[in-house]
């Protein structure tokens, strides 16, 4: 079973349109959603969660096609938003009570353990939390109702590297159960490279790629060459380039390259940066 299936999903706004988006997150896997600010990542997450009405296309999350009419499936989805939106006057302990009355499968013990693990004060008001503490509280809440799917929008932003690493371990831990999946959006490509099995890349509302990370890294190569060699590349081979004073570095499709060309393995960040630049230098 797939945790998420999206087909031809579109959303039109004045001055911005998202999609059509097609992506599949198999159950038990982690998908990284990459894109610059304003690429449409948060809009996509809202559409997936039924928090926004799509202009077209379909979404199926944990086997449910209509989250807007049947929100009960959200019991099984833990969400962390880029900006934690808890009421300012509420404390972590009170939030636990609110969520216990909202989620039938709320695990108060797990929540308490996360608060201790993240060193979060139980009785301090949310408005007095630092940005990092707010994110940690949101993650603790998302992990404490026995969800099968985590939808995380920039969950590690505002966290220092040590805490970020702890969070990534937690997410790994979460996917040890074979039916647990994660969709995570982040600017920090290195985090996603460590964490993800699948990568989806949104650029200005268009999904440029959605595939298995290892296959993606195998499919492309970095080609260092002269401008003349670049001009001689077969059509469709060039995916992106950077022209410097010492030559050209290009992201190319290995399958379309002539035999004998020396290619280096790119990192995920290379693929993303070159693809977003396209043919521009």
| Smallest separation (angstroms) from another protein to the CB of 142 | 9
Token pair in block for residue 29: 């896997």
- Indicate whether 107 belongs to the interface with another protein (CB under 8 A): no
- Indicate whether 90 belongs to the interface with another protein (CB under 8 A): yes
CA nearest to 177, candidates 27, 72, 76 = 27
Using the rule CB under 8 A, which residue among 14, 15, 89, 119 binds another protein?
89
Token pair in block for residue 88: 């300012």
Cβ atoms within 10 A of the Cβ of 230, count? 18
- Please give the distance of CA 26 from its chain centroid, rounded to a whole number: 14
Using the rule CB under 8 A, which residue among 4, 59, 77, 192 binds another protein?
77
Using the rule CB under 8 A, which residue among 4, 9, 34, 81 binds another protein?
81
For residue 117, how many C-alpha atoms fall within 13 Å in the half-sphere facing its CB? 17
What does the alpha-carbon distance between residue 115 and residue 9 come to, in Å, rounded to a whole number? 37
Among residues 72 and 162, whose Cβ is nearest to another protein?
Answer: 72
Using the rule CB under 8 A, which residue among 19, 84, 221, 240 binds another protein?
84
Bridge partner list, 6: 23, 59
Interface region with another protein, contact rule CB under 8 A, candidates 99-107, 169-177, 219-227, 237-245: 99-107
Among residues 145 and 203, whose Cβ is nearest to another protein?
Answer: 145
**For residue 152, with 0-12 CB atoms within 10 Å meaning exposed, 13-18 middle and 19 or more buried, which class applies?**
buried
| Smallest separation (angstroms) from another protein to the CB of 49 | 5
What does the alpha-carbon distance between residue 112 and residue 108 come to, in Å, rounded to a whole number? 6
- Indicate whether 57 belongs to the interface with another protein (CB under 8 A): no
Q: Which of residues 137-156 bind another protein (CB under 8 A)?
A: 151
Among residues 85 and 228, whose Cβ is nearest to another protein?
Answer: 85
Write down the residue that tokens 């040890």 correspond to. Answer: 176
- The DSSP output letter for 279 is T
Taking CB under 8 A as the rule, which mask of x and - marks residues 36-55 in contact with another protein? ----------x--xxxxx--
Q: Strands across the sheet with 56-61, in order? A: 16-26, 2-13, 56-61
Among residues 97 and 262, whose Cβ is nearest to another protein?
Answer: 97
Given the rule CB under 8 A, which residues bind another protein?
46, 49-53, 68-69, 71-75, 77, 79, 81, 83-91, 94, 97-103, 151
């Amino acid at each position: 079973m797939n945790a998420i299936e999206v087909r031809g999903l579109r959303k039109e706004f004045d001055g911005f349109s998202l999609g059509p988006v097609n992506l599949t997150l198999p159950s038990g896997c982690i998908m990284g959603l990459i894109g610059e600010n304003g690429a449409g990542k948060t809009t996509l997450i809202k559409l997936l969660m039924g928090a926004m009405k799509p202009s077209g296309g379909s979404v199926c999350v944990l086997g449910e096609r209509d989250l807007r009419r049947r929100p009960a499936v959200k019991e099984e989805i833990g969400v962390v938003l880029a900006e934690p939106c808890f009421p300012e006057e509420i404390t972590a302990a009170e939030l636990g009570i609110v969520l216990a009355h909202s989620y039938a499968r709320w695990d108060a013990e797990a929540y308490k353990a996360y608060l201790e693990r993240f060193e979060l004060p139980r009785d301090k008001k949310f408005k007095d939390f630092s940005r990092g503490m707010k994110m940690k509280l949101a993650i603790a809440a998302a992990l404490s109702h026995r969800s099968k799917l985590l939808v995380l929008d920039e969950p590690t932003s505002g966290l220092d590297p040590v805490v970020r690493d702890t969070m990534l371990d937690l997410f790994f831990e979460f996917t040890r159960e074979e039916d647990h999946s994660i969709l995570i959006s982040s600017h920090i490509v290195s985090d996603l490279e460590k964490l993800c099995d699948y990568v989806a890349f949104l650029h200005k509302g268009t999904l440029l790629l959605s595939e298995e990370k290892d296959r993606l890294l195998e499919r492309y190569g970095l080609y260092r060459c002269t401008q003349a060699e670049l001009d001689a590349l077969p059509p469709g081979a060039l995916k992106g380039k950077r022209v410097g004073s010492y030559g050209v570095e290009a992201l190319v499709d290995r399958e379309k390259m002539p035999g004998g060309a020396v290619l280096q393995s790119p990192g995920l960040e290379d693929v993303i940066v070159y693809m977003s630049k396209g043919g521009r230098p």
